[in-house]
Each structure stands twice: as structure tokens, then as C-alpha cells.
Amino acid sequence: MAADFKDFPFQDFIIDAVQSLGFKEPTEIQAQMIPIILRGASAIGQSQTGTGKTHAYLLPLINSICGEEKRVQVVVLAPTRELATQIYEEALKIIKFAPPEKELHAKLFIGGTDKMRAIEKLKTQPHLVIGTPGRILDLVKEGALDLYSTKSIVVDEADLMLDLGFIYEVDQIASRMKKELQMLVFSATIPEKLKPFLKKYMENPEYVHVSPKQVHAKNITHVLVPLRHRNKIDLLYNMVVSLNPYLALIFVNTKANAQDVAYGLAEKGLKVGQIHGGLTPRERKKEMRQIKDLAYQVVVATDLAARGIDIEGVSHVINAELPTDLDFYIHRTGRTARAGFSGFAYTIYEDDDEQMLQKLEKMGIIFENRDIENGIWKTLDDRNRRQKRKKQPMETNAFIGIIKKPKSVKPGYKKKMKEQIEKLKKKQARKNK
């Protein structure tokens, strides 16, 4: 496995771009995927957010583009406008190092922008097209974008594509390309419903799975906070005020809950941003700009809306509720403790969440148990101390099932029951000698 980017057969300008980006050595997903992509093979890369997968495909694909051929050679599809924009910005940082004789052109096409202006940009076909499936399919149907010459297509965040209902558009786009197409699918999870699509376009693809590392990361502190009978908005407010985060991401499961939490915290005086499916394209764009400008200390988000969006400087992740899919817990907490910094992941839980918490612990997560009262944090006993306490062989409970309860309970029943238990204890003690 390559330990340095210079170990890959990259052109000189790619190495220059890597050095400019400040990358020291390939991440695990990059080390495994780059050789496969450079060979022109199709592949599935399964890894979580923050593992470096964007550059795992951008670097080798841009390296393979022939600048002299003025046609679309690479297409990258992303499920959200924000993710597509981020990928495009990273691509520009690489292609600007291309020599004049290999001048490369990339174009971004996303929903919520002027369609006619996009068509104008396509009078000359770009080498690299990045965008959302709906807008790219529109341009193909208009005859403005010709994808038949495409050599490689990337489907990023494929499971999110499925969740948002974009797989049909992706299918329509891929069906307009040559059969000998290199398809690269990147996804945090591989749901069953995604497999028919993969089977249709990928024959014996290579598979790379990078196991989640955030679960065991030493620089993330995982903390459980019981809700008890408190108001969740009040508890969240007290947590944020006492923690005083540089930037906190509060995760909820639905857009309705996101709106409730955001408005509730804003009413208490906090500057709160929102990322969820209930925002219009203009509102989403405005929110992302303000988040990048550090206008907020708190951002409330849903999993689907926040997937793939890179927000810098997240010091705290707060789960206002546990995700229904526990894989999302890893994605959520992976938003903090990046670039060598430490981070905190707080989770508010109720009694009904116990089974899910136990599953997370089996995944290797070690929780601290804390609570906040009057602005002061205190350490709690293990929430499962009673269940985890080893029962002594002579405990009363061990004998209750042996002694049959009479059909009709007479006066002195409890006393007689106690006497029988004592007899059984003495009998057991004699056997153990």
C-alpha cells in the first residue's frame, strides 16, 4: 500500500496540487482506491465522512483526463447542492496546476441556479462535469450536455441518493453513456435497495471497505446525558450555555424537530442556524454562507440534509435524539475532532433508548455519564450499574422461582415465605462446603 502520493504514477501537476493541499500521506481509502481507479476498473468504496474519499477519486480521475480532447470525460454526481459545490471547489484546486498545454475545464451544474445560463456555459463541452442528478439530466435532455463520450462516472454518497429518491435520475444519466464505463460508487452504507442499481451497471466491481475509526477515536469524548422529565429545549439550552462551544452541531431526526429545536433555542437568545429539507434553495445557500462566516454558535441539522456537507470548526456534536440508523451516530460524531483536534459528542437519552445505547457500546464506544444541574456538570454512576452487578449465589431472587406461591394467600404468608427461603439458603450453603 502506498505510503506517499509520489508512489502513485501521477503526472507532475497532480503531485504539485497534492503538495499545495498540504496532504502528507494517503488516507486508507485513498491508498486503496487510487490504484484501482488509475487502472480504469469500476469499484465500490465504502467509508464514512471525513476519510478523504473525495480526493480518492478526484486525483486519479483528473490525472486521466486528456486535455486535448474537448469533450466530457468525467462526471461526478452528488445528492446535494452543497456537496456538489464542495467537490467542484476541490476539483478547481487541482486542475489549476495543469500545464497550459493540458488546460482542463470543469463545470458545476446544480439545481436552484439559472438553467439558461447553464446551457450557455455548455457551448464548449467541459472535461469534468460535477453536479446534482436532476440538473445534469435536464441538461442532457435539452441536448446541451453530451455524456456519451464519458469514460468515468462517480456516484458519491450513493445511500443518500437512494434516500432522497435520486437513483432514478442517476440511472437515466448512466444509461446514456457507453457500456464500457468506469463506474465508481462511494457510500457510507450499502443498503439492499441500492444493490439492483449496482448490479445493473457494475460487473464484478472491486470493493474497498474502510472500517469506521471515529468509534474508537481517542480524541472524541462521548457523553450521555439523561433527559429524565425535563423539557428538551431547556436542557439543550443549558448544555450549550455551559459548554460554550466554538461551534456545536445539534442533530435531530426530522425537519419538523429541527425547526422546533432551532426556534426554541433562538427564542432563548442563541444564534442558531438550520440545515434541513424544509429550507428553500435560497435559504439553504444563505444558511451555508452564514455558517462558513461563523455567524452561528449552534447549527441544528438533520442527517440527510447534513450528509456530505463539510463544516469546519465543529467543537461539539449534540444528539438531541439518537438516530434510527446507528451508522448515522458515527457520521454525526465524525463531524468533530478533525485535523488532529479533540472534540465532544453529547447524547441526550431516554429509558427507551437503552437497547440502542448497548449496541453502540458493542461497537466500541465508551460513554461517560454526566448531567447538568444549575449550570454545573456532575459525573453520574453507570446507568446500568444494577444490571451489571453480579448476583451472589445466595441472593433471595435466586430462590423465589423455586418456592411455589399458594393459590390463596393467608395471614403470615410473607413470614412463611421468608422462612422457606432461609431453609433453602442453609441447604445451598451445606452443598457448597
* Residue pointed to by grid coordinates 442499481: 197
Residue 191 and residue 84 share a domain: yes
pLDDT score of 49: 67
Whether the Cβ atoms of residue 158 and residue 185 lie closer than 8 Å to each other = yes
pLDDT at 356 over 70: yes
Cα–Cα nearest to 276, from 234, 238, 320, 237: 320
- 51-62 pLDDT, tens digit per residue, is 789 999 999 999
pLDDT score of 13: 97
pLDDT at 244 over 90: yes
pLDDT at 6 over 60: yes
pLDDT at 146 over 80: yes
pLDDT at 184 over 50: yes
What is the overall mean pLDDT for the chain?
A: 87
Residue 412 and residue 327 share a domain: no
Q: Give the gyration radius of the chain's Cα atoms.
A: 28
229 or 312, which is more confident: 229
Residue length of the chain: 433
pLDDT at 165 over 60: yes
What is the pLDDT averaged over residues 273-294?
A: 86
Residue 319 and residue 201 share a domain: no
What is the pLDDT averaged over residues 79-103?
A: 92
Residue 167 and residue 62 share a domain: yes
What is the pLDDT averaged over residues 162-181?
A: 90
pLDDT score of 330: 83
What is the pLDDT averaged over residues 27-46?
A: 95
What is the pLDDT averaged over residues 57-76?
A: 96
Residue 284 and residue 193 share a domain: no
What is the pLDDT averaged over residues 155-184?
A: 91
- 388-419 pLDDT, tens digit per residue, is 554 445 444 554 555 555 555 556 666 676 77
310 or 79, which is more confident: 79
Sign of the dihedral defined by the CA atoms of residues 307, 310, 311, 315, in that order: positive
Whether the Cβ atoms of residue 333 and residue 353 lie closer than 8 Å to each other = no
Residue 351 and residue 236 share a domain: yes
Cα–Cα nearest to 145, from 102, 181, 104, 109: 109
Residue 74 and residue 38 share a domain: yes
pLDDT score of 276: 86
Residue 249 and residue 180 share a domain: no
Please name the amino acid found at residue 17: A
Residue 283: pLDDT band with limits 50, 70, 90: confident
pLDDT score of 353: 95
pLDDT at 134 over 60: yes
Q: How many CA atoms lie within 13 A of 401 on its CB side?
A: 3
Residue 292 and residue 403 share a domain: no
Residue 156: pLDDT band with limits 50, 70, 90: very high
- Of 184, 209, 234, which residue sits at a domain end? 209
pLDDT at 387 over 60: no
- Of 185, 209, 233, which residue sits at a domain end? 209
Q: Is residue 96 in a domain? A: yes
Domain count, the chain: 3
Q: Which domain holds residue 420?
A: 397-432
Low-confidence winner among 226-230, 338-342, 348-352 (lowest mean pLDDT): 338-342
Residue 215: pLDDT band with limits 50, 70, 90: very low
Q: Is residue 253 in a domain? A: yes
pLDDT at 225 over 90: yes
Residue 108 and residue 245 share a domain: no
Low-confidence winner among 152-161, 163-172, 206-215 (lowest mean pLDDT): 206-215
Q: Tell me the three cell numbers of residue 88.
A: 467542484
Q: What is the CATH number of the domain that holds 62?
A: 3.40.50.300
Q: Is residue 255 in a domain? A: yes
Q: Is residue 98 in a domain? A: yes
